[in-house]
Homo-oligomer: A and B are copies of this chain.
């Protein structure tokens, strides 16, 4: 099996030595990629099993060898979308220093990460408020967990040390709200607006942390 053969998962010509297991995994990924491609222009509720199968290079019936329904594929897509975000976050968490430096680092990282995973973020942003309940619930849950983790991180900053736990959670949810809004802006904006959006987000984060630092002494 050469690299070229692996590169095109829609090539279903028999290849000596490629195991059934590997071919199946490639087709499965081709289905996920085909769905993600269609999701650039349509919401999840508007894409069809037939079109996804077609673009992945299989017949509609073969789809069922991989997923029991489009909904099941959607759930896998939510997980796939968040997994690289989770990886990014645990890297970032290892490099925490102090708020004012971290705000710059994390906003720059966020903007770059969105640009590098546009299709996943577009999917998440759309389906977060979309019509398919199970996807909406899954996405909201991931974001809640994210907010909770951020509350923990905020508690580590000396400048916020004296805030009650519940207030820290409110601040964390506010920050996540700003992050979500930033993602939405990036998805709508041309590439050359990235720096402008990053600066605005950074300003907003600084405002929030300044307000929070004042909070306890008001």
Contacts and interface: CB of A to CB of B under 8 A. Distances in A.
B210 A214 contact: yes
A140 interface: yes
Interface string A177-214: 11011001000100000000000100110111111101
Contacts of A41: 131
A30 interface: no
Contacts of A180: 181
Number of copies: 2
Interface residues of A, number: 36
A128 interface: yes
Given A126-B129, A177-B181, A140 B188 contact: yes
Contact of A173 (B128, B200, B206, B215): B200
A45 interface: yes
B207 A174 contact: yes
A171 interface: yes
A85 B126 CA distance: 24
Interface of A: 41-43, 45-46, 125-126, 128-131, 140, 167, 170-171, 173-174, 177-178, 180-181, 184, 188, 200, 203-204, 206-212, 214-215, 218
